[in-house]
Amino acid sequence: MSNVYDLFAAGARNGDVFLQDDAGKVQYRYDQLDAMTARLGNRLLRAGAAPTDRVMVQVQKSPENLLLYLACLRAGLIYLPLNTAYKADELRYFNDNAEPTVIVCDPASVSWFSSLSGLRPLTLDADGAGSLTNALDEESAEFKTHPCATDDTAVIIYTSGTTGKPKGAMITHGNIESNATTLSRCWGWRQDDVMLHALPIYHVHGLFVGAHLPIMNGSAITFLDRFEPNRIISALPESTVYMGVPTNYTRLLASPDLNVGTCRNMRLFTSGSAPLLSTTFNEFQERTGHTIVERYGMSETGMNTSNPLDGARRAGTVGLALPEVACRVVDDAGAQVDSETTGHLQVRGPNVFSGYWRMPGKTAEEFTPDGYFRTGDLASIDADGYVSIVGRNKDLIISGGLNVYPKEIETVVDSIEGITESAVIGVPDPDFGEAVTGIVVRNPGHSITEQEIIDVLRSRIANFKVAKRIHFVDELPRNAMGKVQKNLLRERFGRQGT
């Protein structure tokens, strides 16, 4: 029995910086990690939680938020992070599906979460204040780490499905340990690295990749509450590693202050969560002298592939399969295809999740008989083993590094009075990678406007899902089976832009 928290605690070195802000102010040192997670663990147990219970968390990013996550791991609780942009209908579903024992939210949301769940939520704000941390020093600093098996669930990450119902991917202690140790080796992580962290910590990229590697190595983390290009560029000279999404890199390149000098101490830049344009890859290399390491992962699998630290980093590819991870591309019948041939990407390895929370049927659908996970991505693998993601067969839109599923937005749009039907697509965007775009057929005689539709969307779903443009058409193109031909819509409106 082994709890993945032990892997992180082993990296702590007495007195060294754990978390600091971009002004250099130390927020926590590693010798405080054990006591802080003990006190938070005791607070959670006193609030009624027991091992395997879910702790649902929707709070602003803060050092205490990260410590809360580690405390949940240590206590054998299942951590359930939620995007801060989620609205009422979305949160109601998560609560009903996960049935959390403890909810941690922003102080302003207490009444709403209380009425939703019948629980008395704990609070935590962006400054680390709230009922979770008030008088925390009164809690015991002694805590026995709960023993966990490698296949015990540590985290549930919700990922939307094409049906519109979010699915809770169950990430195990073994999944986390395997991926963290593999990436640490592949990316040559060092104790003296300084991680510049400006990602959200409610999804895999920021919570797992961006936090696990420095913690398990006892490295300092410069912890920013959000991405701001000027703050990132100012902090780069005192950093060695930065992880971002393609949108981050395009915005950094828009600043004349990004140059070889500002990146003089940097060792590693990585990009993920969405495809990185070759033009961005090349321009960044020319401006900074650094070659971005693009990698590929999913909520369900953590990281699957990466361009090598030592070796060719090829623009337009997500690199090679990580050690112990197998990648294959198959045709519609499930037969493996030749190199350079596009097909359905499947992956297998100790990084792959155990299944979807309370959805055994859906879990079974997504795995092949020989244990490969069907990613839903279309890809090709060249003769050297480099993987290129060329599309998605589930109509997933990745905007600003966040997953958006069209069906969820279409359901809202179609419910608006005056609309016959809609189709939501992603069109190329130089900043977000893909921009959410709605194609709408209005009822005869109705004159609902683009802004009116966008306003309804803003009131009902998270902002990152809201369409940036709405186009009106007389009818949606369909094939002989009546299915909307979104490829034709992407071709037409992708040329027009947003």
Domain boundary among 208, 226, 244: 226
Give the side-chain half-sphere CA count within 13 A for 417: 0
- Report yes or no on 310 lying in a domain: no
- Report yes or no on 408 lying in a domain: yes
- Report yes or no on 233 lying in a domain: no
Q: Domain holding 444: CATH number? A: 3.30.300.30
In this predicted structure, what is the pLDDT of residue 162? 45
Nearest to 385 by CA among 473, 456, 325, 445: 325
Is residue 65 within 8 Å of 126, Cβ to Cβ? Answer: no
Separation of alpha carbons 259 and 387, rounded Å: 30
Is residue 431 within 8 Å of 304, Cβ to Cβ? Answer: no
- Report yes or no on 334 lying in a domain: no
In this predicted structure, what is the pLDDT of residue 35? 97
In this predicted structure, what is the pLDDT of residue 480? 52
Q: Domain holding 98: CATH number? A: 3.40.50.980
pLDDT tens for the chain, 498 residues long, are 689 999 999 988 888 999 999 999 999 999 999 999 999 999 999 999 999 999 999 999 999 999 999 999 999 999 999 999 898 988 999 999 999 999 999 999 999 999 999 999 999 999 999 999 999 999 999 999 999 999 999 999 998 654 557 899 999 999 999 999 999 999 999 999 999 999 999 999 999 999 999 999 999 999 999 999 999 999 999 999 999 998 899 999 999 999 999 999 999 999 998 888 888 999 999 999 999 999 999 999 999 999 999 999 999 899 999 999 999 999 989 999 999 998 999 999 999 999 999 999 999 999 999 999 999 988 999 999 999 988 677 677 889 988 787 888 988 998 999 998 899 999 999 899 999 999 999 999 999 999 999 999 999 999 999 999 999 999 999 865 466 888 899 999 987 654
At position 437, the amino acid (one-letter code) is T
Separation of alpha carbons 391 and 310, rounded Å: 28
Domain boundary among 197, 226, 255: 226
In this predicted structure, what is the pLDDT of residue 256? 95
- Report yes or no on 175 lying in a domain: yes
Total-model pTM: 0.87
- Report yes or no on 301 lying in a domain: no
Label residue 21 exposed, middle or buried (CB < 10 Å: 0-12, 13-18, 19+). middle
Q: What domain range includes position 18?
A: 5-226
In this predicted structure, what is the pLDDT of residue 498? 46
- Residues 6 or more apart from 407 whose CB is under 8 A from it? 161, 162, 163, 164, 395, 424
Structural domain total, the chain? 2
